[in-house]
Structure 1
Amino acid sequence: MALDGERGAHATERQSLSVPRQAPDETIFGRQASELVAELPERLSTRVLENAERLAEWPALVDGEVRWRYAELGGEIRAAAEWLDALGIRPGDRIMTVSENCRALVVLLLAASERDVWVAIVNSRLSAQEIDAIRDNCQPRRIFYTSEASPDAEAHGRRHGAEPFAHPSLGRLGLSPLAEVEPEPVATDGADQVAAMIYTSGTTGTPKGVMLTHRGILYIAALSGGMRHLCEGERVYGVLPMSHVFGLSSVCMGSLYNGACLYCVPRFDAPAMLAALEQERITVLQGVPAMFARMLETLRREGRSLAAPALRYISAGGSPLDGDLKRRVQALFGLTLHNGYGLTEASPTISQTRIDDSFDSNTVGRVLPLLEYRLEPLGDAGEDEPDHAGAGELWVRGPNVMKGYFRQPAATRACLTEDGWLNTGDIARFDDDDQLYIVGRSKELIIRSGFNIYPPDVEAVINEHPDVTLSAVVGRQVEGNEEVVAFIQCEPGARADEEALKAFIAERLAPYKRPTRLVLMDALPATASGKILKGRLRELANREGAA
């Protein structure tokens, strides 16, 4: 039983959790963040077209053998905007791209911006069922399939009866027939006008179209890109899918808004990326943790060293970064592996480490300048260990927060208040220096025998084993309790067995955190961006438990 003083301390802590705060203004690459925000244009395409004049001869985009300077990119955007007019696309219409990263996708996005058209960017590697569900929700005026860059896009186009079209500069495409749909109202203000929709959800349930505004995406492009010191002459390896908001806002728009050269890469391939680092002298590399893990694995398997003569900045996002992988990547590159945190509904970045930061901890950096944030008490969760004291559910408000889910008001109300506060669904804490730490997702929290277990804590320990490439931990309901199940992907040729891994884990984790079951897999199921599909693993764990 708590003493009265303890009760008072806990009550004070819970009250302070709910107090909103605003991240202060700060200097970013020589300018104040507030200045950068004040000069944001109303549309995605505006600054890129200005760069076509100001940086006309600087390299803008590389797509395989195709290399465009900014003047050429600007000409392609203007020509594509006129092409959209000729195709019957009206202001306020939605178009849908079934695609992988390529010049056609970049140009269509920016041409659509010029015409106040929304773009639903959909990864062509999704299943037919997923693509069709998104199409039915989006109701696009036309669908564009980037056939040259993606065999999967071409296959979806054939399935939908798309007309093949050989575009003289964008490559082979597929075009759907014109659909009779109602356009959306057009807003002059970039904070109200939707630029892109990114769909969340998997094979189950209705897909949700996250409506991202021009201002929200540009806020991330300007600030996040500025924090990476992007400018003309920089070469950015763009392998993160633009159908994922990290690849759209931070990589693609962050590069082109700030005058850097974007390398459009349709799919991650470790040997191809290693070759580009050396031969193309890539300067900025952003990935997900799994991408870096597979690059380490490739170098080890092939017995060769890294050659990255111009690389100056590396970062990981999209999923939790554990300390062991961070240490191994930093040792290989001789650079700080920067980290950040965000979600699709926040365009995506909420926090990131600054360019001069160097932390041994797993911080995801400070909240981006001028964003408001607060932590809400967790309510009826179990007991936390001291390391997670003061943790709460993170809420944020700012220009990067989505407008809502397309035509799904109930789903929007479930996470977004009328006055603009977004519930991230993540459990977080702050240290005394305002560094943010993500403890776990509230829906992934495992409560075992009254104790809170955060999957990233367990995964970080498992990933320290030299034979482990990746791991993913989920909870499984059992009668009156919840147990921990760990799915593990081992290095090729590794000989680790279940008993050896259990002994390794037992030395490093409290008994209540130790997995009840270890499942060894050749490869963990993942999205095109490398993010592990925990929902699928949770289904596997529960099916196995029921059996």
Structure 2
Amino acid sequence: MTTQRPWLAQYPAGVPHQIDVDEFASIPAVLEQSIRQFGDRPAFTSMGKALTYAQVDELSRQFAAYLLGELKLKKGDRVAIMMPNCLQYPIATFGILRAGLTVVNVNPMYTARELRHQMVDSGASVILVLDNFARTVQEVLADTALRHVVTTGLGDMLGFPKGAIVNFVLRNVKKMVPDYDIPSAVRFRDALALGSKHELPDVSITHEDIAFLQYTGGTTGVAKGAMLTHRNLVANMQQASAWIGTNVKLGQEVIVTALPLYHIFALTANGLVFMKYGAKNILITNPRDMPGFVKELKREPFTAITGVNTLFNGLLNTPGFDEIDFSKLHLTLGGGMAVQRAVAERWKKATGVTLVEAYGLTETSPAACINPMDLADYNGAIGLPVPSTDVCVKDEDGNQLPVGEVGELCVKGPQVMKGYWNRPEETAAAIDADGWLHTGDMAKMDEKGFFYIVDRKKDMILVSGFNVYPNEIEDVVAMMPGVLEVAAVGVPDDKSGEAVKLVIVRKDPALTVEQVKAHARENLTGYKQPKFVEFRDELPKTNVGKILRRALRDEAA
């Protein structure tokens, strides 16, 4: 069946139907263009210290030369990075890629068990780790192929005296750096100094080379490494920049990067797409410190911000948020989880800018659908397929479904991963014979080609044979002024098979179970109403703030 593309008629003016994947041979080719165009402009700032594009060029070259000249790594070797957003991050990432090596992004909050799995699975031979997390690395070293450890302090790239003060406070005052003992470890600054003694050879990098092993699916059991090639990421950069390019000003954008760069959303959207435009990336090291985050946002007017629903919700509920200067802000992009209407409407009211929802997956590098940037108001859709991308909805037998029917969302395009690292069976289960990636999300398409996520396939609740989608319940309950955060999950029930349970973090301590149930009765049909309501101080979340429904389901079961 040929795919109809009703969405093309809805494309904003100036957005092409196709992108040129061959304009750049690799991610370093895009970086090098930005260095030529924007050399003296700030590229990344952290804690008030800025690095220009020219400095990123020089420092990432030094790191690349260290990896090849000192450590004698060979093309395709894997190098792991285990740190939050800080200046070392882009230096290392671009250095690894320029050396023709593969980046393995690691969540720094990982336990030894999780880190061990990822290092053994990826076969990484080098890891760069922030001092705060080095003890975890020490615990797994003996069980992995890691031969080299590079360590760094959060203040190491901030200059004197600031850097020394930051490192001293973290270690001695806040006690945030557990003792570790890795005798062979090299300091990041020493690695750069050693790299500066070597010439960086001309490394041939092609579209098919793997740029990132991006681990995903931790919530569905064992984390798998999605093989994202230079072609995948260059394609997604081209797709996203074609989409937003009509209202982005070259060399003038300032983007807030609060989601961690080790997560695919911030990595591509902020780290790569905005680099192409010569933007300044404001790196937020600890977005969970909301008062500190708001203080950082007051430092200078910014033009763009990306985030997940919980991040925007957190900002809106932090004192001082209303004192931020939003006069230059023109782009707010939400992804990673469903954006709730209540949050989107409050964001628009507070900032004057629409919170535009996008949809993507680690496996699609990540952008697959984005709403038009000129969207007047939140519309509940994940948007239209980006250029050079086909999206459809399929039933259990793999047949494409017509407009309005709910089935599994499937994606095809140059941004779809090569497959899962060393897992041919799982790759075959995810990407069918016709090249469609099966996302595991339940969705529908309207007649204009806008797609709507109904829910995760595995999060769906089955009440007496009726499908209940947690997103819908959460949206309704989140509208209550007394609710800060809410998660809906299915729990076993003798009568109906499953029943709806709500877990709520209150904004108003006086909120009662009966008030919540009354609100649900007014807004939801019988089988969708919560049978159980529980109040808690916090909800379990992933490193980027996605609510872990699975953890709540497991507890209930």
TM-score tier, shorter chain, comes to 0.7 to 0.9
Give 1:12's aligned residue.
none
Give 1:271's aligned residue.
291
Give 1:181's aligned residue.
none
Is residue 286–residue 293 contact of structure 2 (8 Å, CA) maintained in 1? no
Give 2:497's aligned residue.
481
CA distance in 2 between partners of 1:212 and 1:164 (Å): 24
1:72 is aligned to 2:55: yes
Give 1:516's aligned residue.
531
Is residue 476–residue 484 contact of structure 1 (8 Å, CA) maintained in 2? yes
CA distance in 2 between partners of 1:244 and 1:44 (Å): 17
Q: What is the one-letter code of the residue matched to 2:339?
A: L
CA distance in 1 between partners of 2:509 and 2:125 (Å): 51
Q: CA deviation at 1:415?
A: 1.0
- Of the three residues 279, 286, 293, the one matched with 2:313 is 293
Give 2:31's aligned residue.
48
Is residue 294–residue 318 contact of structure 2 (8 Å, CA) maintained in 1? no
Give 2:209's aligned residue.
193
CA distance in 1 between partners of 2:58 and 2:134 (Å): 26
Is residue 306–residue 332 contact of structure 1 (8 Å, CA) maintained in 2? no
- Of the three residues 370, 388, 410, the one matched with 1:370 is 388
Q: What is the one-letter code of the residue matched to 2:206?
A: D
Q: Aligned in 2, Cα 1:187/1:510: closer, same or farther, shift over 3 Å?
A: farther
Q: CA deviation at 1:426?
A: 0.9
Give the 3-state SS of the residue equivalent to 2:79 in structure 1: strand
Q: What is the one-letter code of the residue matched to 2:47?
A: G
Give 1:183's aligned residue.
none
Give 1:252's aligned residue.
271
Give the 3-state SS of the residue equivalent to 1:433 in structure 2: coil
**TM superposition score normalised by structure 2:** 0.84
Q: What is the one-letter code of the residue matched to 2:111?
A: S
Q: CA deviation at 1:50?
A: 2.1
Give the 3-state SS of the residue equivalent to 2:271 in structure 1: helix
Give 1:447's aligned residue.
462
CA distance in 2 between partners of 1:348 and 1:91 (Å): 25
| Superposed CA offset, 1:375-422 (max 9, x none) | 112579xxxxxxx94122111111111111111112111111244210
Give 1:11's aligned residue.
none
CA distance in 2 between partners of 1:28 and 1:93 (Å): 42
CA distance in 2 between partners of 1:472 and 1:235 (Å): 33
Q: Aligned in 2, Cα 1:360/1:308: closer, same or farther, shift over 3 Å?
A: closer
1:239 is aligned to 2:258: yes
**Structure 2 residues not aligned, in runs of 5+:** 142-147, 168-176, 186-202
Is residue 104–residue 146 contact of structure 1 (8 Å, CA) maintained in 2? no
CA distance in 2 between partners of 1:521 and 1:367 (Å): 38
Give the 3-state SS of the residue equivalent to 1:279 in structure 2: coil
CA distance in 2 between partners of 1:468 and 1:176 (Å): 50
Q: Aligned in 2, Cα 1:483/1:135: closer, same or farther, shift over 3 Å?
A: same
CA distance in 1 between partners of 2:374 and 2:426 (Å): 39
CA distance in 2 between partners of 1:25 and 1:154 (Å): 52
- Of the three residues 307, 319, 323, the one matched with 2:337 is 319
Percent same amino acid at aligned positions? 27
Give 1:96's aligned residue.
80
Give the 3-state SS of the residue equivalent to 2:327 in structure 1: coil
CA distance in 1 between partners of 2:382 and 2:60 (Å): 36
CA distance in 2 between partners of 1:441 and 1:31 (Å): 30
Give 2:92's aligned residue.
108
CA distance in 2 between partners of 1:373 and 1:293 (Å): 30
Give 1:461's aligned residue.
476
1:540 is aligned to 2:520: no
- Of the three residues 395, 399, 406, the one matched with 2:421 is 406
- Of the three residues 193, 211, 215, the one matched with 2:227 is 211
Q: Aligned in 2, Cα 1:462/1:379: closer, same or farther, shift over 3 Å?
A: farther
Is residue 105–residue 146 contact of structure 1 (8 Å, CA) maintained in 2? no
Aligned residues: 502
Give the 3-state SS of the residue equivalent to 1:228 in structure 2: helix
CA distance in 1 between partners of 2:446 and 2:486 (Å): 27
Give 2:188's aligned residue.
none
CA distance in 2 between partners of 1:176 and 1:262 (Å): 35
Q: What is the one-letter code of the residue matched to 2:135?
A: A
Q: What is the one-letter code of the residue matched to 1:293?
A: N
Q: CA deviation at 1:188?
A: 5.0
Give 2:21's aligned residue.
37
Q: CA deviation at 1:496?
A: 0.6
CA distance in 2 between partners of 1:329 and 1:32 (Å): 29
| Superposed CA offset, 1:132-159 (max 9, x none) | 1111211111111033xxx2x2332444
Is residue 286–residue 316 contact of structure 1 (8 Å, CA) maintained in 2? yes
CA distance in 2 between partners of 1:320 and 1:346 (Å): 17
Q: Aligned in 2, Cα 1:437/1:164: closer, same or farther, shift over 3 Å?
A: closer
- Of the three residues 46, 54, 57, the one matched with 1:63 is 46
Q: CA deviation at 1:25?
A: 9.5
| Superposed CA offset, 1:99-148 (max 9, x none) | 1112222122111111221111011012222111111211111111033x
Is residue 112–residue 137 contact of structure 2 (8 Å, CA) maintained in 1? no
Give 2:239's aligned residue.
223
**TM superposition score normalised by structure 1:** 0.85
Q: Aligned in 2, Cα 1:252/1:411: closer, same or farther, shift over 3 Å?
A: same
Q: CA deviation at 1:93?
A: 0.3
Give the 3-state SS of the residue equivalent to 2:492 in structure 1: strand
Q: CA deviation at 1:53?
A: 1.8
CA distance in 1 between partners of 2:533 and 2:511 (Å): 12
Q: What is the one-letter code of the residue matched to 1:513?
A: K
Give 1:280's aligned residue.
300
Is residue 25–residue 34 contact of structure 1 (8 Å, CA) maintained in 2? no
Q: CA deviation at 1:232?
A: 1.1
CA distance in 2 between partners of 1:157 and 1:135 (Å): 10
CA distance in 2 between partners of 1:188 and 1:55 (Å): 23
Is residue 60–residue 256 contact of structure 1 (8 Å, CA) maintained in 2? yes
CA distance in 1 between partners of 2:209 and 2:13 (Å): 28
**Structure 1 residues not aligned, in runs of 5+:** 1-17, 179-185, 381-387, 543-547
Give the 3-state SS of the residue equivalent to 1:462 in structure 2: helix
Deviates further, 275-284 or 453-462: 275-284
